[in-house]
A = this chain, B = another copy of it.
């Protein structure tokens, strides 16, 4: 790896141990293993076990691998929705999840608030829907839903399935899996890994729903349907030749985080977030984009900037650092700073110091 530190929200900087794990993968011929071999099954098992421990996922939940988190939007809608889904929308990614449901003819309903806003749970009446879709952390706007809000909304419809998109917050949150049926995420954000792998956590209610839809003669897809994923997962395999290197690296980095201490890493994440927000509030150039502090993301810090964002990275170049611009329409007027486990407290302090020196 170069020495440059990427605070971009995704793909982000590689977790510091990734390069050495890639070397060990090459030395051990991980990329030439048959995905039907015992050696592959052992890698698969190690990764699933490390993810289960790190995210505190109960043993009766399944952990499947896909090509991306974007793919899982398709798959969860195909497998868990026959007639209708319900979406909380407050940014570009939660909106895209909703639009995916439209493209799949799933008659989605939504409750939408403006870009950068969080949800006031008392304003939301959840309609009848087979699947409730909530985005824990809006990577586009830096809004994170408090877990208590997610649960209070889901409790309006205890019989619906709930899927949480946690793409840019995992591995920070610990979900209450008695209230959550499915979680999806990718690896190029919080895990600091090369992109090209999605992780899909589901319980048996989701599997049963998929089987029910299939028995009605409706398609739930093919190789990545829940029954197909499950049929291979029981042997610690995948239906297709998967991204074996990605699965290997995910297991190694998840184990590295466990070895550092998952609780310590989560506390550091909160500390680094508070350092960033403190700086932003005092800065003459930056101001927090998300007004309500309770809705501000711990893992993707978004700030308005007076100096147009494309002018900021050139100033950080001499410190060998890079941060993210705003998303979409707000590209120039905002910055996004990733705060993932691979970013140390010292690096965040240095970033703040460099921003102070360079801008204000």
Contact = CB atoms under 8 A, between A and B. Distances in A.
A251 interface: no
B197 A196 contact: yes
Interface in A56-72: 66-71
B31 A194 contact: yes
B11 A104 contact: no
Contact of A241 (B4, B195, B241): B195
B27 A2 contact: yes
A239 B188 CA distance: 16
A74 interface: yes
Interface stretch (A111-119, A214-222, A273-281): A214-222
Listed residue (A26, A73, A197, A324) with the most chain B CB atoms within 10 angstroms of its CB:
A26
Contact of A31 (B14, B34, B68, B244): B14
Interface SS majority for chain A: loop
Contacts of A171: none
A212 interface: no
B26 A19 contact: yes
Nearest to A325: B34
A241 B68 contact: yes
Task: Give the number of copies in the complex.
Answer: 2
Interface size on A, as a range, is 35 or more
A13 interface: yes
Interface string A244-282: 111000000000000000000000000000000000000
Contacts of A241: 10-11, 68, 70, 186, 188, 195
Given A70-B239, A195-B244, A241-B68, A11 B27 contact: no
A79 to B, nearest CB: 12
Contact of A240 (B27, B70, B217): B70
Interface of A: 1-2, 4, 6, 8, 10-14, 18-19, 22, 26-29, 31-35, 66-71, 73-74, 99-100, 103-105, 186, 188, 193-197, 217-219, 221-225, 239-246, 324
